């Protein structure tokens, strides 16, 4: 019975395609963050032009891209970090105990670069953009920080797809 409960719990908390956390699992993980996990880098990734890939090559190829990204991000983060398929082609990665923005930017740039190395049929490259925002202290609103990372993501997509941007306070 315990094995069955574990299986059901995993089905409820993980995305079936990528095996990363889904939103429910993400919420449970973030609700259990402790003061020693901070500061955090909240990284919002988007697979650029996934709709075009699905429309051109089919959803099976699009699914392959999603799984490749999940594998890529899993290989470039620690087991203690939080990895989530947040929505269709968006992923949230929370890097724990990241003390400065440049470390987060370097890590996310590696992930984006490695995804660019993933080539589909017909030599079509896959670009991934990322927005990053830091959460320095326990008790600050994670939703606000995700919103900041989203703003940075859209700036990255505007400036140059396949690019990472740090959120900066608007002056």
Question: Which residues are catalytically annotated?
Answer: 89
Read off the tokens for 158.
């505007």
- What torsion, rounded to 10 degrees, do the Cα atoms 10, 93, 71, 76 define? -130
CA separation for the pair 9, 140 (Å, rounded): 28
Q: Strand pairing of 128-135 and 164-166?
A: parallel
Q: Confirm if 93 and 81 have CB atoms less than 8 A apart.
A: yes
């Amino acid at each position: 019975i315990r094995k069955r409960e574990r299986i059901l719990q995993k089905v409820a908390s993980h995305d079936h395609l990528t095996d990363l956390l889904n939103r429910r699992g993400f919420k449970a993980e973030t609700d259990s963050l402790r003061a020693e996990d901070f500061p955090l880098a909240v990284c919002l990734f988007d697979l650029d032009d996934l709709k075009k890939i699905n429309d051109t090559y089919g959803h099976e190829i699009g699914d392959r891209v999603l799984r490749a990204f999940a594998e890529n991000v899993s290989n470039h983060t620690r087991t203690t970090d939080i990895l989530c398929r947040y929505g269709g082609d968006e992923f949230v990665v929370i890097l724990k105990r990241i003390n400065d923005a440049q470390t987060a930017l370097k890590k996310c740039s590696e992930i984006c670069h490695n995804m660019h190395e993933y080539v589909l049929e017909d030599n079509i490259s896959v670009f991934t953009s990322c927005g990053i925002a830091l959460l320095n202290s326990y008790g600050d609103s994670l939703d606000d920080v995700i919103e900041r990372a989203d703003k940075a993501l859209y700036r990255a997509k505007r400036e140059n797809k396949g690019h990472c941007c740090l959120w900066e306070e608007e002056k």
